[in-house]
């Protein structure tokens, strides 16, 4: 079988695995609150909203641009469209994982490594359109360019760092892996005996290439007079966030450690198979940097582990090829537990029928809508005006966001209530929610609103309140 035929066969296998692993999510508008928000922001952009100015968040603009075309479609088709994009991104990344494993000398386990990447995503809320799903192929592509660049082509190095720059515009946490890629190129040139001046000049050029997409985004905001809003949201506000409660924080850490441990263990076992080549050192170091970045970044929500699944799956290839029982156990358990997580998430967060019923109760007017707590995708599904630029609900009531969003939470909540939204949506109290904020809202609801319905959404219930006399 030729290399090209093998690649086609592998791509088909990986696509089939990805479809099977993610099928339960297709068409579901409530896969995860993060992608609910990305889709909602992109839909608002079609109405003229500017991220960070009219809709606030910390994610870079490139992420919202990925969702822009799907958000232009009718709601249901838009959901399917972004999920199709995510499926394509996952399949492409899995294929590149397999190619990287081949370059690392683990050809026998290459396809299995691609399968492992697909399956591991479901273990960490990666079954939909989380940001790493879209920037992982960019980072995998950059790694391929670096490792395949045996002739030390400047163009390939430049292309790799430009891909890193594009990844930064999907999520800034890619900066740690990107720095490692850049330093590896510098170290390679140093070992090859290049002059210090030449290395320094190339390093500056590569760094500028990696920063250029972000610089272009900043230039755009400067041109429209909102550089301050862009800078605060993208770079300054993250340092002002509070720490999550200890029980939640360490519980998150325990889960993320459990997700990464098998991949790290398989990578360690893979080291024994074959010589310690430069390519393997790159891949193992990449995994180490990715894991260290996750640990150091903090927060430790399960989807923070998704970037490490690329080098983790690559480095697991040697183990997956060498140990039949090991690969059956690892991939079988990942498939089983991942499917359980996907089904559990769907049951917990709700499905299309429940979401449609919720939207029907809210309706398209009259009056504006405020989702105090619940999925922000409600904003995208109904035609009601908005009363705040903080469409991600927890920005206004979560303890860790206190003092980190550019306004006082309580003051913004009181301003919203003073604007008399026609409908308010509330879920039960969540972990990390500030009780004083909920008390402000509950008092206003009791005074000025009537309960329209309590709609089930997954395992929870969403209360929908209408302003007295407005219905």
Secondary structure, 3-state, the chain: CCHHHHHHHHHHHHHHHHHHHHHHHCCCCCCCHHHHHHHHHHHHHCCCCCECCCECCCCCHHHHHHCHHHHCCCHHHHHHHHHHHHHHHHHHHHHHHHHHHHHCCCHHHHHHHHHHHHHHHHHHCCCCCCHHHHHHHHHHHHHHHHHCCCCCCHHHHHHHHHHHHHHHCCCHHHHHHHHHHHHHHHHHHHHCCCCHHHHHHHHHHHHHHHHHHHHHHHHHHHHCCCHHHHHHHHHHHHHHCCCCCHHHHHHHHHHHHHHHHHHHHHHHHHCCCCCCCHHHHHHHHHHHHHHHHHHHHCCCCHHHHHHHHHHHHHHCHHHHHHCHHHHHHHHHHHHHHHHHHHHHHHHHHCCHHHHHHHHHHHCCCCCCEEECCCCCHHHHHCCCCECCCCCCHHHHCEHHHCCCCCCCHHHHHHHHHHCCCCEEEECCCCCCECHHHHHHHHHHHHHHEEEEEEEEECCEEEEEEEECCCC
Q: How far apart are CA 263 and CA 257, in angstroms?
A: 10
What is the side-by-side strand order in the sheet with 460-467? 369-371, 423-426, 460-467, 449-457
Do residues 56 and 390 touch, judged by C-beta distance below 8 A? yes
Q: Other C-beta atoms within 10 Å of 425: how many?
A: 25
pLDDT for res 323: 87
**Residue-wise over 407-423: b if at least 16 C-beta within 10 A, else e?**
bebbebbeebbeeebbb
Residue 49 pLDDT? 98
Tell me the C-alpha distance between 191 and 79, whole Å. Answer: 49
Between the alpha carbon of residue 201 and those of residues 162, 194, 247, the distances in Å are 17, 11, 48
The reported pLDDT for the residue numbered 244 is 82
User: Rounded to 5 degrees, what angle do the CA atoms 143, 146, 148 make?
Assistant: 105
> In the block, which residue shows the tokens 């302003």?
467
Q: What pLDDT shows up at residue 239? A: 92
pLDDT at 441: 98
Distances in Å between the Cα of 45 and the Cα atoms of 41, 51, 65, 219 are 6, 8, 9, 19
pLDDT for the residue 420: 97
Closest CA to 405 of 171, 56, 41, 169: 56
Domain boundaries, the chain: 3-347, 352-467
* Residue 4: per-residue pLDDT: 61
Count the alpha carbons within 13 Å of 134 in the hemisphere toward its beta carbon: 25
pLDDT in tens, the chain (471 residues): 555 666 678 999 999 999 999 999 999 999 999 999 999 999 999 999 999 999 999 999 999 999 999 999 999 999 999 999 999 999 999 999 999 999 999 999 999 999 999 999 999 999 999 999 999 999 999 999 999 988 888 899 999 999 999 999 999 999 999 999 999 999 999 999 999 999 999 999 999 999 999 999 999 999 999 999 999 999 999 999 998 888 888 899 999 999 999 999 999 999 876 778 999 999 999 999 999 999 988 788 999 999 999 999 999 999 999 989 999 999 999 999 999 999 999 999 999 999 999 999 999 978 999 999 999 999 999 999 999 999 999 999 999 999 999 999 999 999 999 999 999 999 999 988 999 999 999 999 999 999 999 999 999 999 999 999 765
- Tally the C-alpha atoms within 13 A of residue 56's C-alpha that lie toward its C-beta: 22
Residue 33 to residue 36: CA distance in whole angstroms: 5
């Amino acid at each position: 079988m030729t290399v090209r035929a093998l690649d086609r066969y592998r791509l088909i296998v990986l696509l089939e695995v990805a479809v099977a692993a993610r099928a339960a999510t297709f068409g579901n508008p409530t896969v995860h609150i993060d992608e609910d928000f990305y889709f909602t922001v992109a839909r608002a952009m079609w109405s003229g909203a500017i991220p960070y100015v009219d809709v606030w968040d910390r994610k870079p603009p490139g992420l919202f641009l990925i969702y822009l075309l799907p958000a232009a479609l009718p709601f249901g088709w838009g959901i399917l469209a972004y999920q199709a994009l995510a499926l394509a991104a996952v399949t492409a990344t899995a294929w590149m994982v397999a190619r990287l494993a081949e370059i690392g000398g683990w050809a026998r386990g290459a396809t299995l490594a691609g399968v492992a990447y697909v399956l591991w995503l479901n273990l960490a809320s990666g079954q939909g359109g989380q940001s790493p799903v879209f920037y992982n192929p960019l980072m995998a592509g950059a790694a391929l360019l670096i490792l395949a660049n045996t002739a030390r082509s400047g163009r390939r190095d430049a292309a790799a760092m430009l891909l890193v720059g594009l990844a930064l515009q999907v999520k800034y946490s890619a900066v740690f892996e990107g720095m490692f890629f850049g330093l590896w190129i510098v170290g390679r040139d140093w070992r090859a005996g290049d002059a210090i001046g030449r290395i320094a000049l190339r390093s500056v050029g590569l760094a500028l290439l990696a920063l250029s997409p972000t610089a272009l985004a900043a230039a755009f905001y400067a041109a429209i007079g909102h550089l301050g809003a862009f800078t605060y949201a993208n770079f300054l506000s993250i340092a002002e966030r509070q720490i999550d409660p200890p029980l939640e924080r360490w519980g998150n850490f325990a889960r993320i450690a459990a997700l990464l441990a098998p991949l790290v263990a398989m990578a360690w076992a893979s080291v024994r198979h074959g010589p310690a080549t430069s390519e393997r050192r790159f891949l193992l170091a990449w995994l180490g940097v990715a894991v260290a970045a996750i640990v150091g970044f903090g927060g430790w929500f399960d989807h923070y582990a998704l970037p490490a699944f690329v080098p983790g799956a690559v480095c697991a290839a040697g183990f997956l090829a060498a140990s039949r029982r090991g690969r059956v156990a690892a991939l079988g358990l990942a498939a089983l537990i991942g499917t359980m997580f996907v089904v559990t998430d769907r049951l917990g967060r709700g499905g299309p029928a429940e979401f449609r019923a919720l939207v029907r109760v809210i309706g398209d007017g009259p009056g504006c809508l405020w989702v105090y707590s619940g999925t922000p995708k409600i904003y995208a599904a109904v035609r009601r005006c908005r009363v705040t630029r903080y469409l991600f609900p927890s920005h206004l009531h979560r303890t860790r966001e206190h003092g980190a969003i550019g306004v006082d939470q309580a003051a913004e909540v009181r301003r919203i209530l003073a604007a008399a939204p026609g409908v308010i949506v509330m879920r039960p109290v969540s972990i990390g929610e500030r009780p004083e904020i909920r008390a402000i809202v509950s008092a206003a609801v009791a005074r000025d609103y009537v309960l329209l319905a309590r709609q089930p959404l997954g395992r929870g219930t969403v209360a929908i309140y209408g302003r007295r006399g407005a219905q």
